[in-house]
Amino acid sequence: MTTHHPGQPEASADVEREVAVEQAHVDRVYAELEKAALRARDVEADGLARGRTDRTGDVRDEELTGLFERDALVFAAARRRAMIDTQYEGLVFGRLDLGAEDSTAAEREVRHIGRLGVRDDDYEPLVVDWRAPAAAAFYRATPVDPMGVVRRRVLRCRGARVVGVEDDLMVPEAPEDIVVVGDGALMAALTRSRGRQMRDIVATIQRHQDEAIRAPSRGVTEITGGPGTGKTVVALHRAAYLLYAERRRFEHGGILVIGPSSAYTAYIERVLPSLGEESVALRALGDVVDGMTAVRPDTPEVAAVKGSLRIRRLLSRLASRAPVGAPTTLRAFVAGHAVRLDEGALRRVRAEVLRGHQHNLGADAARAALGEAAWRSVRQGERSDFLDAFDASRDVDEFMAAWWRQLDPRELLLTLADTEHAYAVSRGVLDQEEAAALAASVRESLATGEWSVSDVPLVDDLLARLGAVQEAEREDSGFYDIEELDDLASYGVQDVRAGLGRGGPVETRAVVTPADAHERLLAGRIERAAAYAHVLVDEAQDLSPMQWRMVARRGRTASWTVVGDAAQASWADLPEATRAREEAFAGLERRGFHMDTNYRNAREIFDHARDVILPLVPDADIPEAVRETGVEPVDRVVTGGLVEAAADAVDSLLEQVDGSVAVVTPRRWAERLAALDGAGDGRVQVIDPLSTKGLEWDATVVVDPDAITEESPGGVRVLYVVLTRAAHRMHVLRPV
């Protein structure tokens, strides 16, 4: 047996020989893959040729069958070809040598593991898909329970070229003909540099991680653990596994993956495609509602108001009241009778209709209920004749267009920009200071043209109450008439007018907003919640109660994978969030997996973070860091310029690490540090504390940790997140 150790020449004869052996197999796999690609193209061409017809009239049944066969063939072949085309990068990554401890080479089975199953012309497997049961031993074998594995090998490839191998021996002593290379695949992977996107860990999954990945799909699977334990990447591999194991169910129903931020989704977006799965919707919390995107954070105080369940009472009032500016009296001449319904009568009709209908779907019911109320106020002549005349009345048409027009939930939320209106609808729910802060946050949206992330679940709640805007009514559904208000908008002030030209009184309120910002807020169409077969929530400890309700609407019939760590929470009221979360999972079977090994941080870095969190969160889940660098974090008070000190720290770290460097800054320093973004040939990223969740870098510069704690909704818990993002080096800079 030959083992390679650091200090020995990497290109030893044994290593070169083992690499050559694996290269020969990989070459054979890629040759077979080329043949498979050609076959897929031939099948696609054959499919296109089928079902062709020159007929321009009626098509016979057999021709329809031909068209159906053609579409099925083309779809299947194109999908197979796309799968082949996307799997070329690092297709083969593992090998198992299976047999008894004292077996000979002739007696052992060799099984190669990869991202995609590949067979030769005789249908013999050249590569086993990593998700197949035959590949399970690659992840689950240990020296205590080898599962028949003598040696597990990880292949390091660049495209189709094998550049190295790392072996793990599963038996006490290797047979004479077995060569064991390297110090183990896991430690080799942990020392690699980080880039701007997450790598999959498909080659280095550990046994406890594999158990979570392959857990049954039903119910709720919870994956917990401290920073750096691989929770996120395990959950993403679980999504890929579920699509493989129960493809019909999850490909048809879809898998929704929800993360905390757009920075997070950009970071992880290549993991699932690299594992061969594209049937996944990947969303940040600001993108969950179709047709709406938000990245702007609210202040912690406003986020707490918008995220708490008590705001549902305010939203209920918004959705149940007549639109701002709607007429308060119905006056019409019907079948020779003067009809007048006052505000109280109209309020009773509205309440009656909304007990059984969503507003946007209840126009016909509202008109019918108004007709009955009008008949009761007259009671002369034939009832049926009166109701027919009421239904045909032009006066009633104009009244309904203003009193029961289609409502976009975003427009309803924008009415809160007026502080007095916000006070009125929040009475008994929010105090005046909270209501004023809520109104100010909506005015900020009108000034910037950007929704906040906390607005998205409010819009979703209103959409669930109102129902989707009906397509035929969309052009007449606005609160605002942009064309009539251009003059005011040019001064930065735009009237919020309801019911313009619709026969009722108009209420005018001044709102500071550029016209184009307003249009951006209302661009596109908001869609009702789509149902998914599986929902994966990462950084689950950060979801507010209202966000949990938003996500739950998309998972009513779903199974769930939920990933989190309470010690990293940025939502302060954990008990309320827990109640909303439990409501989403009501009645579902539960299972949990705990990750207790920190693979990301060098021990020196994690010890620093641990000492920050434990005094304030003594029950924090503290994992065991498995890697040491011998380099302590730099934590110093800056007596000179903080920006210059940050630039110096970045320069120093760029020399010490090969990969990425992050500068994590609170808002108060963000503008002054923005020039560092993209430095080092794009290796440096300047980022806010909340956006670091789920991300990692080779090195970090943490600027003003006290300000990070002060500005963050989770306080020291968010600082704990920031201090656990670096794999190899960390500088902490504190202003005087």
Question: For the residues 607-611, what does the mean pLDDT come to?
Answer: 96
Model confidence band, residue 617 (pLDDT cutoffs 50, 70, 90): very high
CB-CB contact of 443 with 532 (8 Å): no
Asked if pLDDT for residue 65 goes beyond 60, the answer is: no
Predicted confidence (pLDDT) per residue in 168-204, tens digit: 888 888 788 888 887 554 554 545 554 554 455 455 6
Residue 270: the pLDDT is 67
Q: Residues near 365 by Cβ (< 8 Å), separated by ≥ 6?
A: 353, 356, 357
pLDDT in tens, 377-416: 988 878 999 999 999 999 999 999 999 999 999 999 999 9
Q: Are 474 and 406 in contact (CB under 8 A)?
A: yes
Instruction: List the domain boundaries for the chain.
Output: 13-190, 208-289+529-595, 300-320+407-521, 330-403, 598-735
707 band by pLDDT with thresholds 50, 70 and 90: very high
Mean pLDDT along residues 621-625 = 92
Predicted confidence (pLDDT) at residue 650 exceeds the cutoff of 70? yes
Residue 40 has pLDDT above 50, yes or no: yes
Q: Which of 144-148, 437-441, 598-602, 694-698 has the highest mean pLDDT?
A: 437-441
In terms of Cα–Cα distance, which of 555, 552, 554, 477 is closest to 522? 477
- By the 8 A CB rule, do 543 and 668 touch? no
Predicted local distance difference test score (pLDDT) of residue 14: 83
Asked if 571 and 292 touch (Cβ cutoff 8 Å), the reply is no
For residue 288, give the 3-state DSSP assignment.
coil
Res. 481 pLDDT band, cuts 50 70 90: very low
Average pLDDT over residues 144-150: 87
- Structure-model confidence comparison of residues 612 and 480, the more confident one: 612
H helices within 50-120, ranges in order?
61-85
Query: What is the reported pTM?
Result: 0.75
User: What's the pLDDT band for 77 if we cut at 50, 70, 90?
Assistant: low
In this predicted structure, what is the pLDDT of residue 594? 95
Q: What is the pLDDT of residue 709?
A: 94
Q: DSSP letter at 260? A: S
Same fold, 208-289+529-595 and 598-735: yes
> What's the confidence (pLDDT) of residue 273?
63
The number of helix segments (H) and strand segments (E) in the chain equals 29, 23
More confident of the two residues 621 and 66: 621
Q: Find the mean pLDDT for residues 112-134.
A: 88
pLDDT for position 328 = 93
More confident residue, 244 or 301: 301
Residue 134 sits at the vertex; the CA angle it makes with 130 and 140, to the nearest 5 degrees, is 75
SS3 611: helix
Which CATH number is 208-289+529-595's, of 3.30.420.40, 3.20.20.70, 3.40.50.300, 3.40.250.10? 3.40.50.300
Read off φ and ψ for residue 220, nearest 5 degrees: -120, 125
Please say whether the beta carbons of 62 and 55 come within 8 A.
no
CA distance 454 to 302: 9
Rounded distance, CA 595 to CA 597, Å? 6
Question: In the prediction, which pLDDT does 308 show?
Answer: 95
Q: How confident is the model at residue 476 (pLDDT cuts 50, 70, 90)?
A: very low
CA distance 574 to 330: 48
- Percentage of the chain beyond pLDDT 70 is 82
Query: Is a pLDDT exceeding 70 seen at residue 562?
Result: yes
CATH code for the part of the protein at 598-735: 3.40.50.300
pLDDT score recorded for residue 52: 52
Could you give the CA distance from residue 194 to residue 172 in angstroms, rounded to a whole number?
A: 34
For residue 44, which of 78, 5, 90, 85 has the smallest C-alpha distance?
A: 78
